[in-house]
Amino acid sequence: MTTHGVKVMAGRLNMQMWELVRHPKTHVANERFAKFLERHLDDLFTVLRYPGADATNWRGEQVIHHRWWIEKYGAAIHRQQ
Specify the amino acid at residue 13.
L
**Cα 50 to Cα 59: distance, rounded to the nearest angstrom:** 17
Query: HSE (CB half, 13 Å, CA atoms) of 57?
Result: 7
Q: Round to whole Å and give the CA distance between 4 and 47.
A: 14
φ and ψ at residue 24, rounded to 5 degrees? -60, 145
Q: Where are the domains of the chain?
A: 3-80
Mean pLDDT, the chain, rounded, equals 82
Give this prediction's pTM. 0.56
| pLDDT for 10 | 85
- The pLDDT of 17-27, averaged and rounded, is 89
Q: What is the mean pLDDT of residues 56-71?
A: 77
